[in-house]
Structure 1
Amino acid sequence: MEKDKKIGIYALLASCLGVFYGSYSANVASVALPKMALAFGLNNILQNWVSLSFILTMAVFTVPLGKICGKYGVKKTFIYSCILFLVGTIGTALSNSAILLFAFRILSGIGAAGLSVDTPLIIAEVVSPENRGKAFGINLACVYLGIALAPFLGGVLIYDFGWQSIFWVMVPFVLLNIIVLLLIPNDWYEGVNDIFDWKGSIVFAMGIIMFIYGFSNITSPIGLILAIIGVVLLILFIKTELKVPDPILKMSLYKNKRFLSSNLASLLSYVATFAVTTILSYYLQYIMGWNTAQTGLLVAISPVLMAVSSPLAGYLSDKVDPQKLTTLGMGLVTIGLFILIFLNKNIPVPVLVLSLCFQGIGYGIFASPNNNTIMSSVPAEDTPMASSSLATMCVMGETISMTVFTVICAIIMGDVVIAVANFPELIFSIKITFIIVTIISILAAYASYIGVKSKDKLIQS
């Protein structure tokens, strides 16, 4: 029993470390984008792709990695993911050309995809169902700590030491994560004898790449064509997965309305919220003239409040219907996003603080109960696929969120380097984006509400 407790502590610590620097990495580049664009001569479209290339890569690899980690071992794939992430991070910091920058961001994204699948799965494998919500709450507090430190610490580091420093600071945490994983004596396997579905993996990857790349260039004929092809391939992927004996993503799981509504709510919530840090970084640095340290301090308000509220929400999700909490949480997020629709060059800073408070508390209430619902809606043997689905919704939402902002900027501003002359167009792009994501946030709250009304029960509660 003492040994199992120690393994549980190591597993939770490894998961918390992984989500901490993983979330930091996914968010810190947004603060550095203006400086990185200057260093590499990137226009407004390409500088958004510094972040988008990372999360798009995650979107491509999360589904197949969900199957791989169950087949070849959760701990083993966790370690390999850490190593890939480490190499990509160091390479990004050492990049001296745009080509190398994007290449290493993609490599980091592959590693981060493994982290995003393994971190919730290792909790589901080790922590008992009655304590799972609490564990996810602690885990998500580390996610939000990483998100909070990304703009704050990132802003200070960029201001004092240059943009490369935001990547170097991650290296010790990745190394510590590998050490903690090596201290765990056993591994966890699901579906060892399953045949890996290479055809489904390739169709999914091509569908995601074509859809996201095409959608980000939707204003051009080739972009529209690629987006349509991407949708067709994703539909083909779903049909294929319904027929193969060992699918990389079991579509029958989505017949459970709890599982379906929570995944849909997760997807929509990330679409609504992920680009907010990037948008506010642009607004504060370009329009308001703030430096990176000042910008980081303000945008850190929301994730700090997420870190504070998520453990309590996770604890409560073990006691009450978790989807009641998720509905409330997304309602508060919606209020925060609605406030930002009125953003202009003279908006008072306290109004921005109020918006970020609503978003931070709301998303903290939403996230850990939603994760708990997803992981507790499936039989134990399907937890790797549930983890893969959760990670896929996350990175798909993040990718679409950034893509929406990128497309709006492209339509309104065109292919330009951001300067004083086009600040009015930038503000208009921001306002249109916040109108769209506020509507999406309302839909996320409604998706959670549908789950509350479902007769499906949480299998592992």
Structure 2
Amino acid sequence: MIRDKAGSPAMVLATVCIAQFMAPFMLTAVGVALPSLGRDLGASAMQLGLIEQLYVVSLAMAMLTFGRFGDIVGQRRVMLPGLALFTGLTCSLGFTTSVEMILLQRFFQGLGAAMMLSGSLALVAAAYPPEIRGRKIGLVSAFTYAGLSMGPVLGGYVTGHFGWRLVFLMSAPLGLAATGMCLFGMREAVKNASGERMDWRGGLAYAASVGLVMLGAAHAREIPLGPAMIAGGILGLALFLRLQTHTPCPLLDVGLLRRNRFFTLSCLAALGSYAATFGLTFFMSLYLQYAKGLPPRLAGFVLLAQPVMQVIASPLSGRLAERMAPARLATIGMLISAVGLFAAAVTIGPDTPLWLLVLELAVIGTGFGVFVTPNSTAIMASVQKRQFGLASGMIASMRTLGMAVSMSSITLIFALFMHDAAIGPDTLPAFLTSLRVGLTAFAIYSCVGVLLSLLRGARSAR
């Protein structure tokens, strides 16, 4: 029987799916609109980069904290104000007239996204029993990839025909719909960790450390500032973990990471998977436009092969996860992605046929789609109900940190092989070398994920 403690399960699922679509859509759609925004407002290259960075950084900083807070006060009480904040700022950004205000609002838009996403899988896990939970999480994953894949296409079309402001404004109706469904269609969820205290001190320490690591990685070539920020962030994370062991009600139960090997390795496998796949679109976009000479619109359609397969594979793997061990299915998916990445690294070149590239992208997307849903299902099934929000926040945090690792790897590879040179006919061989090294690194990340997935063993759903 489907549970109704948080209201209509269908309403919970619909609200979560819209939220999971909007957050990545606001990342990739805005990325395409940045050149137009920069020309209109006179923004520098660094400011344009910060428009994307601040959104992702605030997401990573706050996801774990809000996931834990939702366990204590109820996930709906965190999601509802998050939806309202995200929607309000999305609308406001469409009318902003200065780059400085856009930067400020993008940071807080990311915080709103963290609030609405951190406990989303916890709400789905509470609304549906284990025997059908996998297919519902698969549907949620499909909406996430739909947001990622539709962002560049819709963002580019809307920016070209109506201007960059409508990229923000067109998302506001979806946010209003999700806010209304959360307000009127969802009841207060059961407090999974009722009576426990919130560790705000730990939340601030975690946020500061993650922010330093991510901003330092984005500016890794700026020596000594970038490496110093990364080192400070890593030291901060180490101190955070030590602090958590002496906190009565910690933000992150370090004992859980030690005792529950399945949970820990599943989270690390997710980190490896996102590190292996997120930067691929950026790499391939440059390759298609500079090495193959395709216009941006055609390059975008070629790149759709990966996310489209992810959208198709995610719900199907969710159903399969109800019939076989989710951990085993996730391992198979990661292995498929590794094969596709190694094949791309070996065959990529100036004369690579487009059909082969599309096939390789489709294989990578299929593998990732097969991996992520059963892996998320396995993570949610490996913890007690009082830790659903924490687990949901960890999944989202691993996704964001994996994205940061992927893009930081690209930055480092370009620094080693391209230095500060622009991509052009004279530097094309160096770019292709960078591309092959990058694809190989992504394949190695995927293989590490396969190893971690194998080492965790198997665990039945709770």
Match of 2:249 in 1: 246
Q: Deviations over 1:273-304 (max 9, x none)?
A: 11222222333345444444323322222111
Structure 1 residue 186: deviation in Å? 1.7
Match of 2:220 in 1: 218
Matched, 1:4 2:8: no
Matched, 1:105 2:109: no
Q: Deviations over 1:135-160 (max 9, x none)?
A: 11111122222222123323332333
Match of 2:125 in 1: 124
Contact 1:138-1:310 within 8 A present in 2 as well? yes
Match of 2:377 in 1: 372
Matched, 1:267 2:271: yes
Query: SS where residue 196 of structure 1 aligns?
Result: coil
Correspondence for 1:443 among 440, 448, 452: 448
Match of 1:294 in 2: 298
Summarize the Cα distance change of 1:308–1:162 in structure 2 as closer, same or farther, 3 Å threshold: same
Structure 1 residue 34: deviation in Å? 5.2
Gap runs ≥5 in structure 2: none
Contact 1:59-1:399 within 8 A present in 2 as well? no
Match of 1:350 in 2: 355
CA distance in 2, matches of 1:34, 1:425: 26
Q: Deviations over 1:195-244 (max 9, x none)?
A: 22122112111111112222333331222222111111101111111221
Please tell me the residue identity of whatever aligns with 2:262.
R
CA distance in 2, matches of 1:211, 1:134: 35
CA distance in 2, matches of 1:129, 1:201: 30
Greater shift, 4-13 or 193-202, is seen at 4-13
Query: SS where residue 195 of structure 2 aligns?
Result: coil
Summarize the Cα distance change of 1:158–1:294 in structure 2 as closer, same or farther, 3 Å threshold: farther
1:55-134 matches, cutoff 5 A: 55-134=56-135
Please tell me the residue identity of whatever aligns with 2:156.
G
Contact 2:11-2:186 within 8 A present in 1 as well? no
Greater shift, 247-256 or 371-380, is seen at 247-256
What is the number of equivalent residue pairs in this alignment?
Answer: 456
Match of 1:228 in 2: 231
Structure 1 residue 397: deviation in Å? 1.0
Structure 1 residue 415: deviation in Å? 5.3
1:129-144 matches, cutoff 5 A: 129-144=130-145
Contact 1:263-1:390 within 8 A present in 2 as well? yes
Query: SS where residue 183 of structure 1 aligns?
Result: helix
Identity of aligned residues (%): 27
CA distance in 2, matches of 1:333, 1:393: 18
CA distance in 2, matches of 1:403, 1:224: 12
Contact 2:19-2:116 within 8 A present in 1 as well? yes
Please tell me the residue identity of whatever aligns with 2:282.
T
Contact 2:338-2:364 within 8 A present in 1 as well? yes
Contact 1:214-1:227 within 8 A present in 2 as well? yes
CA distance in 1, matches of 2:225, 2:342: 34
Correspondence for 1:202 among 204, 219, 222: 204
Contact 1:10-1:183 within 8 A present in 2 as well? no
Please tell me the residue identity of whatever aligns with 1:4.
D
Match of 2:321 in 1: 317
Contact 2:3-2:128 within 8 A present in 1 as well? no
Query: SS where residue 4 of structure 1 aligns?
Result: coil
Contact 1:144-1:306 within 8 A present in 2 as well? yes
Match of 1:403 in 2: 408
Matched, 1:393 2:394: no
CA distance in 2, matches of 1:123, 1:229: 36
Contact 2:333-2:367 within 8 A present in 1 as well? yes
Structure 1 residue 37: deviation in Å? 5.7
CA distance in 2, matches of 1:49, 1:285: 24
Summarize the Cα distance change of 1:30–1:301 in structure 2 as closer, same or farther, 3 Å threshold: farther
